């Protein structure tokens, strides 16, 4: 029976609940000043003021003194393209010089280049690269990461990527949630006959990944020069029939009615949403589709930010994530993400915290297990070295994560991996 007591925290800061928080409810954080958290066997068992902790419960507990620090749920990065090889800094320079993401893609660059590099890499190389990234994420307070495939583009290569995600999860400590995204780009071999690739995804890749239980979610890049509305609908409908929950890269670069399709198919989430129309957002609300916003991609692509205020005012469940990938957003920086969401998308700091914890958990179907500090949930906790939660954004771009706990095990101490 392993016990940890986090005590004397200047603030425990958490949303409360077993499902995503919609709209202005995202501001309802529970703040316990001079608070403590008792963890037992990987679960949170008690949260209260330090003075109210029952001493008899503390026998044999390892004590973490959080004086002067704040305690949050472990952060959840609910949208990444974690597993890939190679980088594309030359395309970044081209974009800085005025070329667009889509024109680079249409000339054979973009996702296809990362597919080429990822196909050449061994499973072991992909695993090691992703593991290093996960460690860096953990150092910023992240305890769960969603990882999309999509740099394979063939049956074997998509399987390879999904297997790496599964191995990463199995090797711990960070939970890695796997999403099949074979429909990321029309790969070179099928450029002259995209329909053939759509058929491969529907008839071979989806059934195989389902059979081998290599992914929980299925995502499609619904965009000009990628997959159109009808293709996305067919792929996602097939995935649903095989038991996947659905996600869509929706309205990232243009309005492809992705928000509408997400609502129509009762997707768990629609992600990006930079160019979604009002009606699409209304439909998402009606169908309880979580909006996953990725402001660092908008920043990196110099696109207008998603309308976070409109979404929150409409009552949507809004989550935030990094979108870490080698093309449109080569960062998984949590401090930068929090600052961009707050300063450029006008979310309140409270909303940002909910969006990166409980609502991010909702986007990956785990709000009943993680995303808040309350008894019964997994003890996934991030302790930041600052006196109050305003510092998470006020001390802009600075990593203040100090101690990180995953399922009751300390994985980062004093800012370093244990």
- Residues of this chain that interact with ligand NIG (CB under 6 A) are 81, 110-111, 114, 221, 249, 252, 297, 323, 325-328
| Binds 327: which of ligand NIG, Fe ion, none (CB < 5-8 Å by kind) | ligand NIG
CB nearer to ligand NIG: pick between 182 and 379: 182
Nearest approach in angstroms of CB 197 to ligand NIG is 16
Sort strands 30-40 and 43-49 into parallel, antiparallel or unpaired. antiparallel
We find the least distance from the C-beta atom of residue 113 to ligand NIG, in angstroms, to be: 8
Q: How far apart are CA 120 and CA 154, in angstroms?
A: 13
Closer Cβ to Fe ion, 6 or 82, answer by number:
82
Closest contact distance (angstroms) between CB of 58 and ligand NIG is: 46
The rounded distance, in Å, linking the Cα atoms of 293 and 319 is 6
- C-alpha of 305 from chain center: 18
Q: What residues make contact with Fe ion under the rule CB under 5 A? A: 323
Tell me whether residue 138 or residue 296 sits nearer to ligand NIG (CB atom): 296
Nearer Cβ to Fe ion, position 77 or 323? 323
Backbone CA torsion sign across 215, 223, 19, 45: positive
Whether the CB-CB separation of 354 and 21 falls below 8 Å is answered with yes
Which among Fe ion, ligand NIG, none contacts residue 114 (Cβ within 5 to 8 A by kind)?
ligand NIG
Query: Do β-strands 3-14 and 75-77 pair in parallel, antiparallel, or remain unpaired?
Result: unpaired
Q: Which does 160 bind (CB under 5 to 8 A by kind): ligand NIG, Fe ion, none?
A: none
Whether the Cβ atoms of residue 226 and residue 255 lie closer than 8 Å to each other: no
Smallest distance, Å, CB 170 to Fe ion?
24
Q: Which does 328 bind (CB under 5 to 8 A by kind): ligand NIG, Fe ion, none?
A: ligand NIG
- Residue 322: CB minimum distance to ligand NIG, A: 10
CB of 222 closer than 8 Å to CB of 248? yes
Q: Which does 110 bind (CB under 5 to 8 A by kind): ligand NIG, Fe ion, none?
A: ligand NIG
CB of 146 to Fe ion, least distance (A): 10
Quick one: 83 or 353, whose CB is closer to ligand NIG? 83
Q: Tokens for 74?
A: 């472990």
Identify what 252 binds: Fe ion, ligand NIG, none; CB under 5 to 8 Å per kind.
ligand NIG
Q: How far is the CB of 177 from ligand NIG (least distance, A)?
A: 16
From ligand NIG, Fe ion, none, which one binds at residue 113 (CB under 5 to 8 Å depending on kind)?
none
- Please name the residues in contact with 251: beta carbons below 8 A apart, sequence gap of 6 or more: 222, 257, 258, 259, 270, 272, 273, 274, 275, 276, 280
**CA–CA dist 401, 418 (Å, integer):** 14
Residue nearest to ligand NIG (CB): 327
Report residue 164 as tokens: 């790496």
DSSP E strand stretches across 41-106: 43-49, 62-65, 70-73, 75-77
């Amino acid at each position: 029976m392993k016990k940890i007591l986090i005590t004397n925290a200047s603030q425990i800061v958490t949303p409360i609940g077993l499902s995503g928080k919609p709209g202005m409810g995202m501001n309802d954080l529970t703040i316990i000043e001079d608070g403590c958290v008792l963890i037992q066997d990987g679960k949170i068992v008690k949260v209260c003021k330090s003075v109210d902790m029952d001493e008899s419960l503390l026998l044999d507990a390892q004590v973490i003194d959080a004086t002067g620090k704040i305690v949050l749920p472990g952060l959840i990065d609910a949208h990444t393209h974690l597993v890939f090889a190679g980088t594309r800094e030359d395309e970044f320079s081209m974009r800085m010089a005025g070329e667009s993401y889509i024109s680079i893609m249409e000339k054979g660059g973009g996702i296809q280049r990362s597919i080429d590099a990822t196909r050449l890499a061994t499973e072991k190389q992909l695993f090691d690269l992703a593991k290093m990234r996960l460690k860096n994420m953990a150092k910023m307070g992240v305890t769960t990461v969603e990882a999309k495939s999509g740099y394979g583009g063939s049956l074997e290569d998509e399987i390879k990527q999904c297997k790496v995600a599964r191995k990463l999860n199995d090797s711990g400590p960070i939970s890695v949630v796997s999403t099949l995204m074979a429909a990321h780009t029309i790969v070179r071999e099928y450029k002259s006959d995209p329909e053939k690739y759509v058929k491969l995804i529907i008839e071979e890749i989806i059934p195989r990944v389902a059979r081998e239980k290599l992914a929980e979610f299925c995502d499609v890049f619904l965009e000009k020069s990628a997959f159109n509305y009808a293709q996305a609908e067919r792929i996602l409908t097939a995935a649903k029939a095989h038991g996947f929950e659905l996600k869509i890269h929706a309205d990232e670069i243009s309005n492809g009615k992705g928000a509408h399709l997400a609502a129509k198919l009762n997707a768990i989430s629609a992600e990006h949403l930079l160019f979604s129309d009002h009606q699409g957002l209304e439909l998402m609300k009606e169908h309880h589709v979580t909006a996953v916003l990725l402001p660092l991609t908008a920043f990196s692509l110099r696109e207008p930010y998603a309308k976070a205020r409109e979404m929150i005012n409409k009552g949507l469940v809004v989550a935030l994530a990094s979108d870490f990938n080698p093309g449109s957003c080569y960062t998984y920086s949590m401090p930068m993400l929090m600052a961009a969401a707050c300063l450029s998308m006008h979310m309140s700091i409270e909303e940002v915290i909910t969006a990166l914890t409980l609502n991010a958990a909702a986007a990956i179907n785990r709000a009943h297990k993680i995303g808040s500090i309350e008894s019964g949930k997994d003890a996934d906790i991030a302790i930041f070295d600052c006196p109050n939660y305003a510092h998470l954004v006020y001390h802009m771009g600075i990593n203040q994560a100090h101690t990180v706990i995953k399922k009751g095990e300390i994985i980062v101490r004093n800012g370093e991996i244990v």
